[in-house]
Amino acid sequence: MSQDFFSPEVLRDPHAFLRRVRAEHPICWSPQFHGWVLTRYADVLAATKDERLVAVSAASWLQRLPGELKQQFEPASRCLRWWAGLMSEQDHLDFQSALKKYFNPAKVEELRPRVQQFTHELLDAAQERGSLEVVDELARPLPANVIGELLGMPPEDRALLQRWSADILSFFQQVELEGLKRGQRSLLEMQEYLRPLIAERRREPRGDLISVLVSQKEGLFAREPEAIVANCAMLLFAGHETTSHLISSGLLLLLQHPEQLALLRDKPELMPSAIEEMLRYDGASDAMVRVSKAPLELGGQRFSAGETFVLVYKAANFDPEVYPSPERFDITRRPNRHLAFGMGSYYCLGAALARLEGQICIRMILERLPGLRPAFQTPDWRPLPPLGRRLRSLHVAF
């Protein structure tokens, strides 16, 4: 039986739909995705670790557009092809090798004082007003400041990142043509903005992330200058979008579960496990696509090479076979080996940074806004078909 992953039901409540699919058809063929959809934790985890399953370029679906549209979005395709070095397995290894040293725990920990300073500044402004709209006034500008600093963007330019990121998200969802045009326009603007910064770092290297990429003597970034431009754009987008969602959705979960909010206030040492539960419950990565380069077996079924698989992290993270009472938001949940950042060779390199920003930001909100309470009737969700959603706004009082 074919499942409709784009129905109004899914837009309203992806979790209820995925719960049913996982129970009834945990590995199902989807004509809409032209591939197999995996929703059980065991199957998704096995797929993330199987080296016969490789990631595909973010531009791959643009290549399936009709001729005239395909040509129209070719500029975006050229950039997206380089993201995360997904042109080949060796390119991806080069990408990881260049960035792993920069995103190691010790390096990320060095950012703690700056993240704290940025958060304080944003909360200072909110306290002066006496109100806070979390999405636009905190969750979006904080990671924009952090990733902008990592890439050496001048402070006065970092607000640009918030607009670019919102527009570029269109390439990872099903949107109307105008949305894709905005996405391409912002992607190209971002690239053109980065080119002079990259040229400057070639002349005068610093300690920022762009300098790390231009200093590579071999591999992807030494061989392909355009890969530096494209992946700086990718880091700006990914470093912003993931953390922004973690902060806004994580705070919403605490407001929706006041007993958990009270527990976290009483026991702030629970913050690390609280962040992990926020990631499990509503992580930024809803699903990932993989393609088999060789025959394999998953969930007791045999598949040939060239098959497409959609790994639905959002469903796997609620699998009752792994998580007792998965619908319960529990900041003390342990173990909590969720898949919000993926697993295996495609594990998110920025995971440690996202965790650091989330922990610092939410801890400081609770410390500085002791009377925090919701100032909305129902959450203001923006659907991101087929399986995602993001908060448009989150008004709080204190």
HEC sequence for 231-285? HHHHHHHHHHHHHHHHHHHHHHHHHHCHHHHHHHHHCHHHHHHHHHHHHHHHCCC
- What local confidence, expressed as pLDDT, does residue 174 receive? 58
What digits encode the pLDDT tens for the residues 22-63? 999 999 999 999 999 999 999 999 999 999 999 987 777 777
Measured on CA atoms in the order 140, 143, 145, 151, is the torsion positive or negative?
negative
Mean pLDDT in residue range 256-270:
98
- What local confidence, expressed as pLDDT, does residue 307 receive? 97
What digits encode the pLDDT tens for the residues 313-332? 999 999 999 999 999 999 99
- What local confidence, expressed as pLDDT, does residue 21 receive? 96
Q: Which carries the bigger pLDDT value, residue 65 or residue 286?
A: 286
Q: What is the token pair recorded at 279?
A: 């990631």
Peptide bond into 320 cis (omega under 30): no
Amino acid identity at 351: A
68 pLDDT more than 60: yes
The conformation of residue 206, written as its DSSP 8-state character, comes to: -
324: helix, coil or strand?
coil
- What local confidence, expressed as pLDDT, does residue 284 receive? 84
C-beta atoms surrounding 31 within 10 Å: 8
Mean pLDDT in residue range 8-34:
91
Peptide bond into 385 cis (omega under 30): no
What digits encode the pLDDT tens for the residues 109-145? 999 999 999 999 999 998 888 889 999 999 999 999 9
- What local confidence, expressed as pLDDT, does residue 86 receive? 84
- What local confidence, expressed as pLDDT, does residue 84 receive? 87
Mean pLDDT in residue range 188-217:
93
Inter-CA distances, 139 with 2, 132, 181, 246, 295, Å? 37, 11, 25, 8, 43
73 pLDDT more than 70: yes
Residue 173, phi then psi, degrees to nearest 5: -150, 175
CA–CA distance, 125 with 212 (Å, rounded to integer): 34
**Reported confidence tier of residue 3, pLDDT bands at 50, 70, 90:** confident
The radius of gyration of the chain from alpha carbons, rounded to an integer in Å, stands at 21
Residues whose CB is less than 8 angstroms from the CB of residue 26 and which lie 6 or more positions away in sequence, other chains included: 38, 39, 40, 43, 299
Delineate the domains of the chain, giving CATH numbers in brackets.
8-397 (1.10.630.10)
Mean pLDDT in residue range 355-382:
95
- What local confidence, expressed as pLDDT, does residue 85 receive? 81
In DSSP terms, 30 is beta-bridged to: 35
Name the one residue in this structure whose structure tokens are 């003597």: 217
Amino acid identity at 277: E
Measured on CA atoms in the order 146, 151, 155, 156, is the torsion positive or negative?
negative
- What local confidence, expressed as pLDDT, does residue 1 receive? 57
The conformation of residue 38, written as its DSSP 8-state character, comes to: E
- What local confidence, expressed as pLDDT, does residue 175 receive? 64
Mean pLDDT in residue range 202-213:
93
Q: At what angle do helices 112-129 and 351-368 cross, to 10 degrees?
A: 40
Write out the DSSP string of 132-161: EEHIIIIITHHHHHHHHHHTT--GGGTHHH
- What local confidence, expressed as pLDDT, does residue 122 receive? 96
Q: What is the mean pLDDT of the chain?
A: 92
- What local confidence, expressed as pLDDT, does residue 303 receive? 98
Among residues 258, 261, 257, which one has the least CA distance to residue 270? 261
Q: Considering the entire predicted model, what is its pTM?
A: 0.93
C-beta atoms surrounding 373 within 10 Å: 11
Q: According to the 3-state scheme, what is the secondary structure of 56-90?
A: CCCCHHHHHCCHHHHHHCHHHHHHHCCHHHCCCHH
Residues whose CB is less than 8 angstroms from the CB of residue 24 and which lie 6 or more positions away in sequence, other chains included: none
Residue 188's Cα: distance from chain center in Å? 20
64 pLDDT more than 80: no
HSE value, Cβ hemisphere, 13 Å, CA-based, for 195: 6
> Please, are residues 263 and 331 in contact by the beta-carbon 8 Å criterion?
yes
